[in-house]
Structures are given as structure tokens and as C-alpha cells.
């Protein structure tokens, strides 16, 4: 194993035996003819890749892809069925919330217990104790049984213990998904400090934003298999986004109905229940499909958009009749329900009308917002004098993921350029 390799994984496979009942397990154990009563489940199937020293690697995939199994094998929690893992360096892991904590003893006692398991002497633990307690910041609860802790408090203490050993390799498996935003920020700041000092980080997270912004390489797993690994993190995230939407590389809805009359079924309106879409309106015209992309020529939804670059919103609208004086509006909203941007063709001084049948309209704008996940809301209305008719309102219609090329604060992406004053 090369000196610059922190973790080497070769042909790693983990098979679990699944039984339909406990009786089948007993039958198999006692069978004189070794009759098989189980079926094999491949949690991991022939996985191979390497992690270089100092790299930050993001491991992504749908639930059940094998991410947690992989990390447990790397850290020695479970054994593989075949293949091998080689680790070069002191490793610390935060795999499951509160894993290794005894709920019946105090947080302080758990600190001593876990650090002892990591191989530290009492003198070494005493030297690190104040730092651990300060980072966890759970106050007097440090003296209370862990079973009285909230999930956020458990996360605080577990992370504080994990980083106290100054590991050469730190593995974090979704454990920071709980807890308040301020603590998450503090944890990530500490992790990037460790990275700057040469530590190797492996993150399992569903936040593609963190993967894009912080990782040097990404690994995509699906059903126990390695789909791809690449230092082009954006490409891996794109594959992942398409995968979780159950679409292939021809993703997006490109409906070509030229020459055919629309029928009643074409005007069916289905809300996006995954994000709690509220949909209402008269239905004289409907927003059949909305595509958000960073390329004008594309008919596919871009899994990730880039701050400071063009965004195109393409509307496929079905109309039962010709409708004049329409308003087609869009807005982006944070998850806390605060709108950060919105516009429509009326504000743009661009009158629009719908013809009977199929209509296609495209909006272009520059995406000057910071990285994050936003809700896209769209609305279609018609005006008759002072009367407004809601045709089809979709609040929200989809999630838009944005990544920036550099860090910034606030909501607006407006990077500065430093000029010489001499």
C-alpha cells in the first residue's frame, strides 16, 4: 500500500443471510445435508477504491445503498465476507448517534469510557477533558445520564469525543443531521480545520451542497455496487440526483404532442406530494411541466445549478382555449418560508397570451444567490380588466439546488474583486 494512500478498499463484499423466520435459521443449522433455507443479500458487492491522504471524500447514495455498511467495515465494527480494507493512520468515527454510549451513566463517565476504549490513559483523558466539555457545550447535563439527553445533545457529545483524539482519518456518517444549525456550523469548521492540518475526511451525507463545496472526490453507491467515483464531484452528484429521481440520462419530460388535439386526460393535475405542493386554480390552462436548467438548449432538469450563472426556467403550458393577458410568475423561497426572489412577465413589461393547445415559454435570469436548497414556486393567472383568475398555482413545484464556487454569507451571491490601491 502506497504511503500516500490513507484507505485502500479492494473487491469488498458483504453478504447477509436473510431468513423468512427464526425456524428456518434453526433448520439450516441442524440440517445434516446442509440444506439452504436462506437467501443471500449483498449489502456490498465487489467494491474497490482508494482514499488519498488529506482528501475529503463524500460517499452518497440512496437509503440502503450500502454506505453505512462500508463505513462499519472500514472502522472494524463488522467483518467483510470477502475482499480487504487497509487503513494507514489513526482513525476516529462517528457512525451512529450515541453508538458506544451507555445510556445509564453520565455523559462525563461516557467520555472516560469511550476515550479509554480508544487507547488513552487517564492522564491523557484528563488533559483533553476540558476541551471535550467545552466543545460539547451541554452545560450541567454532562453530569446526567445520557438517557435523559435529546438527540442533539447526544450528537454534541459524540462529536466532541470523536475529534478529541486528533485523528488522522475522521469518518462521519450522517451524525450531524441532528442538532441546531450553530452547532453544525461549529462542527464543520472544526472538520475543515482538521483538513487544513492534513487529516483525511470521509463524509456520508444526503446534503449534495456539502459534497460539492467541501469534497475533493465523491463516491456513488447503489444497491451495494459502486456506480462511479470521480474527483469531478459535480458529475458524481449529477448521477446521484438522476438516480434518486429514478430517471436515466434522458431525464426530464420532453413532451412532443405536435399535431394532436389535447384531451381531458392531458389536463390532469397532480401535486408533488414529496415536498407538500399546494396546487389550485380554474384549470382553463395548466402548468404541465416546469424544467429548471443551466443550459438553454437542454430539456433536462439540472440537478445542481451554479451561483452567478444563467438559469433557464422552461414552462410547458396546456390551454383549453386562447387566453390573453396572462401573468406567469416564479419565485424562490427558503425552507423557512421567506421569499428571496420573484419575478413575472408583467414586471418585465412583456405581455403574454396563450394559444389553444400546447404553449412553451422560457425565462432567463442570472442566479445571484448563495448555495443552498430552495423551493421553486410558479403561478399562472389571467386578467380581465381588474379581475384576476388563478389558472394554475403550484406552491412549491420542486426543489432547486444551488452550489457556489466560493463561500459567502447572507442570501445574495455577489463576490468581491480586490483591486490594488497603490
Domain boundaries defined on the chain = 5-244, 264-403
* Cα Rg of the chain, angstroms: 27
Q: What is the largest CA-CA distance in the chain?
A: 89
C-alpha–C-alpha distance, residues 24 and 21, integer Å: 5
> Where are the alpha helices (H) located in 165-261, listed in sequence order?
181-196, 208-214, 233-244
Distances, alpha carbon 345 to alpha carbons 39, 61, 67, 106, 361, in Å? 59, 39, 46, 61, 11
C-alpha–C-alpha distance, residues 390 and 286, integer Å: 10
Q: What DSSP assignment string belongs to 251-262? A: -S-----TT---
C-alpha cell at 82: 470477502
Q: Which helix (H) or strand (E) holds 107?
A: helix 107-117
Query: Which backbone phi and psi does 73 adopt, to 5 degrees?
Result: -70, -40
C-alpha–C-alpha distance, residues 23 and 416, integer Å: 68
Query: 0.75 cut: is pTM over it?
Result: no
pLDDT greater than 90 at residue 159: no
pLDDT at 245: 58
CATH for 5-244 is 3.40.50.300
Q: Over the stretch 187-201, which tens digit does the pLDDT of each residue have?
A: 778 888 888 889 999
Q: What DSSP assignment string belongs to 119-179? A: T--HHHHHHHHHHHHHHH--GGGGGSBGGGS-HHHHHHHHHHHHHHT--SEEEEESGGGSS
Q: What DSSP assignment string belongs to 29-78? A: HH-TT-----EEEEEEEEEEEEEETT-EEEEE-STTSSHHHHHHHHTTSS
Please give the average per-residue pLDDT across 115-143, as a whole number: 87
C-alpha–C-alpha distance, residues 360 and 378, integer Å: 15
Distances, alpha carbon 173 to alpha carbons 161, 176, 263, in Å? 15, 8, 49
C-alpha cell at 408: 459567502
pLDDT at 98: 64
Q: Give residue 167's pLDDT band: very low, low, confident or very high (50, 70, 90).
A: confident
- The CATH superfamily assigned to 264-403 is abc- transporter (atp binding component) like domain (2.70.50.60)
Find which of 155-159, 186-190, 388-392 is predicted with most confidence, using mean pLDDT: 388-392
Q: Over the stretch 302-347, which tens digit does the pLDDT of each residue have?
A: 888 999 999 999 999 999 999 999 999 999 998 766 789 999 999 9
pLDDT at 257: 59
Work out the percent of the chain whose per-residue pLDDT is above 90.
42
pLDDT at 253: 44
Q: Over the stretch 5-19, which tens digit does the pLDDT of each residue have?
A: 999 999 999 999 898
From the list 309, 367, 377, the residue with the least C-alpha distance to 337 is 377
Q: Over the stretch 76-109, which tens digit does the pLDDT of each residue have?
A: 889 999 999 999 988 888 776 666 788 899 999 9
Instruction: Decide if 62 contacts 75 (C-beta within 8 A).
Output: no
Beta bridge partners of 330: 343, 378
Q: Is 273 helix (H, G, I), strand (E, B) or coil?
A: helix
What is the CB neighbour count within 10 angstroms for residue 104?
10
Beta bridge partners of 399: 375
Amino acid at each position: 500500500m502506497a504511503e500516500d494512500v490513507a484507505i485502500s478498499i479492494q473487491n469488498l463484499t458483504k453478504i447477509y443471510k436473510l431468513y423468512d423466520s427464526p425456524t428456518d435459521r434453526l433448520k439450516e443449522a441442524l440440517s445434516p445435508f446442509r440444506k439452504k433455507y436462506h437467501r443471500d443479500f449483498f449489502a456490498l458487492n465487489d467494491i474497490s477504491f482508494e482514499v488519498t491522504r488529506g482528501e475529503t471524500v463524500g460517499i452518497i447514495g440512496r437509503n440502503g445503498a450500502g454506505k453505512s455498511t462500508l463505513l462499519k467495515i472500514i472502522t472494524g465494527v463488522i467483518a467483510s465476507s470477502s475482499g480487504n480494507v487497509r487503513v494507514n493512520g489513526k482513525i476516529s468515527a462517528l457512525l451512529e448517534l450515541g453508538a458506544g454510549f451507555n445510556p445509564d451513566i453520565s455523559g462525563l463517565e461516557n467520555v472516560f469510557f469511550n476515550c479509554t476504549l480508544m487507547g488513552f490513559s487517564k492522564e491523557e483523558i484528563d488533559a483533553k477533558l476540558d476541551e471535550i466539555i467545552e466543545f460539547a457545550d451541554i452545560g450541567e447535563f454532562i453530569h446526567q445520564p445520557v438517557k435523559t439527553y435529546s438527540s442533539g445533545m447526544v450528537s454534541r457529545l459524540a462529536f466532541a469525543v470523536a475529534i478529541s483524539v486528533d485523528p488522522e482519518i475522521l469518518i462521519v456518517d450522517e451524525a450531524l443531521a441532528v442538532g441546531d444549525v450553530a452547532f453544525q456550523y461549529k462542527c464543520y469548521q472544526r472538520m475543515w480545520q482538521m483538513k487544513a492540518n492534513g487529516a483525511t475526511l470521509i463524509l456520508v451525507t444526503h446534503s449534495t451542497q456539502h459534497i460539492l463545496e467541501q469534497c475533493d472526490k465523491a463516491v456513488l453507491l447503489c444497491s451495494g455496487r459502486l456506480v462511479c467515483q470521480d474527483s469531478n464531484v459535480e458529475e458524481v452528484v449529477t448521477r446521484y440526483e438522476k438516480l434518486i429521481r429514478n430517471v436515466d440520462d434522458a431525464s426530464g419530460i420532453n413532451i412532443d404532442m405536435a399535431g394532436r388535439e389535447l384531451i381531458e386526460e392531458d389536463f390532469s393535475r397532480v401535486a408533488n406530494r414529496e415536498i407538500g405542493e399546494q396546487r389550485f386554480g380554474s384549470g382553463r390552462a395548466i402548468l404541465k411541466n416546469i424544467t429548471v436548467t443551466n443550459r438553454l438548449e437542454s430539456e433536462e432538469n439540472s440537478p445542481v445549478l451554479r451561483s452567478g450563472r444563467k438559469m433557464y426556467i422552461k414552462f410547458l403550458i396546456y390551454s383549453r382555449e386562447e387566453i390573453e393577458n396572462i401573468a406567469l410568475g416564479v419565485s424562490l423561497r427558503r425552507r423557512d418560508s421567506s421569499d428571496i426572489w420573484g419575478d413575472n412577465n408583467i414586471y418585465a413589461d412583456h405581455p403574454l397570451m396563450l394559444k389553444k393547445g400546447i404553449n412553451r415559454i422560457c425565462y432567463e435570469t442570472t442566479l445571484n444567490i448563495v448555495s443552498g436548497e430552495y423551493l421553486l414556486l410558479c403561478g399562472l393567472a389571467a386578467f380581465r380588466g381588474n379581475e384576476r383568475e388563478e389558472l394554475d398555482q403550484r406552491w412549491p413545484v420542486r426543489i432547486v439546488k444551488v452550489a457556489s464556487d466560493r463561500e459567502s454569507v447572507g442570501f445574495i451571491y455577489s463576490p468581491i474583486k480586490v483591486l490594488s490601491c497603490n
